[in-house]
């Protein structure tokens, strides 16, 4: 959709095909028969999402974000709260240094070692030379965050109590498995931009407050959506000079079939989608073959509706009434449950999730998702409910009144060490075929910002190739 918006603004015609019945992909949501909004996953917006914020402003959705308190909250066993508190009158990097030096999520020794590791990181260079620091960070793609952090004096305890939940939230894998590049990219943004660590969440569901407005912008400008239409095959031809050109896309919707033709084709898929779509012959090219070295990480998202306020730790009476919402209104991390991050959507995104006479709507992201993938939904709900009680003993006695489970077998691409070089550019060796999607090359991690940026880059390449693309059909006809 990011590519479509840019291309429509440049005066092009755009058709979007998606095999799903709703727009937005992993940030999409739909309403079930009982009126519940079912999200593909819990989404938070870092303050450095400049491309996404620009897009939201363009489509009139910039007011749909609610700014949360500038603190990252960890919920430990027994309701013990730890914080990485960025609230300070002086901005970056001072507010970040203070947050790490004063956090109560770590003991004094771990905190000191943490500070040493961060002081020895490229993040310090980022304060004076962000581009140079980014190059140093990219050079650390080959090692895991744990390897890098421990080599700089960081402790295993810091990893377990603070960095693992953060790594799980960012990439759905732990510090032993996530590339140092991925984590340090985020740290350098936090260190250099005061707003970067400030979290925002949507007022309500993505279909109403994010993907909906983008869709409207696109259709208002003549763009067309074709939902439930999946691309089954990329049709292509070779010219006399040996070059490959896409000649059409074979699409299908249930039993219907059609071939779609255009001047330029953009595959804005997820990792499993692009692997299925690319013609096998194209793997002769290193560019396309590299994509097969990327894999997706499984993730399971659970929603639990309660008849009270689960995260209200201080006032038992308030947690038991249903007249007023109460509890922790922010993204929450935890090192003590199988879900690494979660939020009470009835508080954070009340427009669609606060319902009068009902309580918390916890949305929990189970990472690693692998052990939960084969389990039945009832079993998943049982296990998650039990763990919620470990974190919030004060919620003993509250009942789950509704629940849902969404499993994604391959979600984010696995940002393991050494994977970054395999991410493809948006411009491919095939002149009229482009790629977009958060797994393609850009300096953000697999995120909404990364997806938006990749879409802008794809549209820039298409516009840049204008003359060549116009000439292509004639060339193919003459062949």
Q: Counting contacts by CB under 6 A, is residue 25 touching ligand FAD?
A: yes
The residues in 275-294 that bind ligand FAD, with binding defined as CB under 6 A, are 277
| Residue 369 engages ligand FAD in binding (rule: CB under 6 A) | no
> In terms of CB distance, is 311 or 438 closer to ligand FAD?
438
Stretch that binds ligand FAD, among 19-27, 67-75, 145-153, 393-401 (CB under 6 A): 19-27
- Contact predicate 454/437, CB 8 Å: yes
Selected from 189, 448, 453, 472, the binder of ligand FAD by CB under 6 A is 448
The verdict on 42 binding ligand FAD (CB under 6 A) reads: yes
Q: Which stretch binds ligand FAD (CB under 6 A): 25-33, 177-185, 283-291, 469-477?
A: 25-33
Q: Rounded to an integer, what distance in angstroms lies between the CA atom of residue 329 and that of residue 317?
A: 18
Tokens at residue 443, please? 């300096």
Q: Which two tokens stand for residue 396?
A: 């003993």
Out of 4, 231, 264, 304, point to the residue binding ligand FAD (CB under 6 A).
231
Compute the least distance from the CB of residue 199 to ligand FAD, in Å.
Answer: 9
User: Of 15-23, 131-139, 155-163, 240-248, which segment contacts ligand FAD by CB under 6 A?
Assistant: 15-23
Beta bridge partners, 364, equal 302, 342
Please state the closest distance from residue 67 (CB atom) to ligand FAD, in A. Answer: 15
Q: Please name which of 459, 451, 450 lies closest in space to residue 427, comparing C-alpha atoms.
A: 459
Site for ligand FAD in 124-163 (CB under 6 A): none
Q: Which two tokens stand for residue 453?
A: 């940026």
What distance in Å separates the CA atoms of residue 97 and residue 120, rounded to the nearest whole number? 13
**Stretch of 14-22, 53-61, 391-399, 423-431 contacting ligand FAD, by CB under 6 A:** 14-22
**191-219 b/e (C-beta count within 10 Å ≥ 16 → b):** bbbbbbbbbbbbbbbbbbbbbbbbbebbe
252 touches ligand FAD by CB under 6 A: no
Task: For the CB of residue 471, give the shortest distance to ligand FAD in the complex, in Å.
Answer: 28
Token output for 290: 């590299």
Q: Element (H or E) spanning 215, and its range?
A: helix 211-220
83 vs 106: CA distance, rounded Å:
9
Residues 393-422, interacting with ligand FAD (CB under 6 A): 408, 411-412
**Does 270 engage in binding with ligand FAD (CB under 6 A)?**
yes
Q: Is 26 in the site for ligand FAD (CB under 6 A)?
A: yes
Q: Which of residues 169-208 bind ligand FAD (CB under 6 A)?
A: none
d(CA 74, CA 31): 31
Among positions 12, 37, 41, 326, the unique one binding ligand FAD when judged by CB under 6 A? 41
Stretch (H or E) spanning 188:
helix 180-192
Reduce the DSSP state of residue 73 to 3 states and report it: strand
b/e per residue 244-269 (b: at least 16 CB within 10 A):
bbbbbbebeeeeeeeeeeeebbbbbb
Q: How far is the CB of 270 from ligand FAD (least distance, A)?
A: 3
From 42-50, 54-62, 112-120, 427-435, span contacting ligand FAD (CB under 6 A): 42-50
Q: How far is the CB of 189 from ligand FAD (least distance, A)?
A: 13
Residue 56 CB, nearest approach to ligand FAD (Å)? 13
Q: How many residues bind ligand FAD (CB under 6 A)?
A: 33
Binding mask 292-331 for ligand FAD (x = CB under 6 A): -------x-x------------------------------
Is residue 446 a contact residue for ligand FAD (CB under 6 A)?
yes
Does 338 engage in binding with ligand FAD (CB under 6 A)? Answer: no
* CA distance linking residue 311 with residue 347, whole number of Å: 10
Say which residue the tokens 């308030």 belong to: 318
Token representation of residue 438: 């958060």
Q: Does 30 bind ligand FAD (CB under 6 A)?
A: no
Of 450-469, which residues contact ligand FAD (CB under 6 A)?
Answer: 450-451
Query: Least separation, in Å, of the C-beta of 125 and ligand FAD?
Result: 25
Q: What is the DSSP string of 222-254?
A: T-EEEET-EEEEEEEEE-TTS-EEEEEEEEEET
CA distance 383 to 405: 12
In this chain, which stretch among 39-47, 188-196, 310-318, 350-358 interacts with ligand FAD, using CB under 6 A? 39-47
Radius of gyration of the chain (CA): 23
CA 233 from chain center: how many Å?
27
Phi, psi angle pair for 446, to nearest 5°: -65, 95
Structure tokens at 450: 């990364």
Question: Is 85 among the residues that bind ligand FAD (CB under 6 A)?
Answer: no
Contact footprint for ligand FAD (CB under 6 A): 17-20, 25-27, 40-44, 230-231, 268-270, 273, 277, 299, 301, 365, 408, 411-412, 437-438, 446-451
């Amino acid at each position: 959709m990011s590519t479509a918006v840019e291309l429509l603004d440049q005066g092009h015609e755009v058709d979007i095909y998606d095999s799903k019945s709703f727009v937005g992909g992993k940030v999409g949501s739909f309403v079930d028969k009982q009126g519940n909004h079912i999200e593909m996953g819990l989404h938070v917006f870092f303050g450095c999402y400049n491309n996404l914020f620009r897009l939201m402003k363009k489509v009139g959705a910039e007011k749909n974000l609610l700014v949360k308190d500038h603190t990252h909250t960890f919920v430990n066993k027994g309701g013990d709260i730890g914080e990485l508190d960025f609230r300070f009158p002086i901005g970056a990097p001072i507010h970040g240094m203070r947050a790490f030096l004063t956090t109560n999520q770590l003991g004094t020794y771990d905190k000191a070692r943490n500070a040493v590791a961060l002081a020895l990181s490229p993040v310090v260079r980022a304060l004076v030379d962000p581009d140079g620091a980014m190059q140093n960070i990219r050079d650390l793609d080959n090692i895991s965050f744990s390897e890098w952090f421990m080599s700089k004096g960081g402790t295993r305890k810091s990893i377990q109590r603070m960095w693992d939940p953060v790594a799980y939230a960012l990439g759905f894998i732990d510090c032993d498995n996530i590339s140092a590049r991925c984590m340090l990219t985020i740290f350098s943004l936090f260190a250099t931009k005061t707003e970067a660590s400030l979290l925002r969440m949507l007022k309500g569901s993505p279909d109403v407050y994010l993907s909906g407005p983008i869709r409207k912008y696109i259709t208002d400008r003549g763009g067309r959506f074709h939902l439930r239409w999946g691309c089954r095959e990329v049709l292509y031809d070779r010219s006399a000079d040996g070059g490959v050109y896409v000649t059409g896309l074979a699409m299908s919707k249930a039993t219907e079939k059609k071939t779609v033709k255009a001047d330029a084709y953009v595959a804005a898929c997820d990792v499993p989608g692009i692997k299925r779509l690319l013609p096998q012959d194209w793997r002769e090219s290193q560019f396309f073959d590299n994509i097969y070295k990327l894999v997706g990480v499984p993730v399971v998202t659970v929603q639990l509706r309660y008849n009270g306020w689960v995260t209200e730790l201080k006032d038992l009476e308030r947690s038991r009434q249903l007249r007023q919402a109460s509890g922790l209104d922010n993204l929450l991390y935890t090192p003590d449950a199988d879900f690494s991050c979660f939020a009470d959507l009835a508080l954070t995104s009340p427009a669609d999730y606060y319902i009068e006479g009902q309580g918390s709507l916890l949305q929990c992201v189970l990472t690693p998702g692998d052990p939960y993938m084969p389990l039945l939904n009832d079993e998943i709900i049982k296990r998650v409910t039990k763990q919620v009680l470990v974190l919030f003993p004060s919620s003993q006695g509250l009942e789950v009144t509704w629940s849902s489970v969404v499993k994604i077998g391959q979600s984010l691409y696995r940002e393991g060490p050494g994977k970054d070089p395999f991410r493809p550019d948006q411009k491919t060796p095939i002149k009229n075929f482009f790629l977009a999607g958060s797994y393609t090359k850009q300096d953000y991690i697999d995120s909404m910002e990364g997806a938006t940026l990749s879409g802008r880059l794809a549209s820039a390449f298409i516009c840049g190739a204008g003359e060549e693309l116009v000439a292509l059909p004639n060339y193919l006809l003459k062949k």
